Amino acid sequence: MKKIFILSLLVVFTYDAKADMMKDLELSNELLAMSEYGAKASWSTSELVTLENKISRFSDDNLKQIWISNVVTYALIGNLPNYPNTKMCNIAKRNIKKIADNDLRSLWDTNYGLYNC
pLDDT tens per residue across span 14-42: 444 455 888 998 999 999 999 998 888 88
Burial class (CB within 10 angstroms; exposed 0-12, middle 13-18, buried 19+) of 19: exposed
pLDDT digits (tens, 9 = 90+) for 97-116: 999 999 999 999 998 988 88
Average pLDDT of the segment spanning 62-91? 91
How far, in Å, CA of 84 to CA of 30, rounded?
25
Any residues with CB less than 8 A from the CB of 6 and at least 6 apart, and which? none
Instruction: Give the length of the chain.
Output: 117
In angstroms, rounded to a whole number, what is the distance separating the alpha carbons of residues 28 and 45?
20
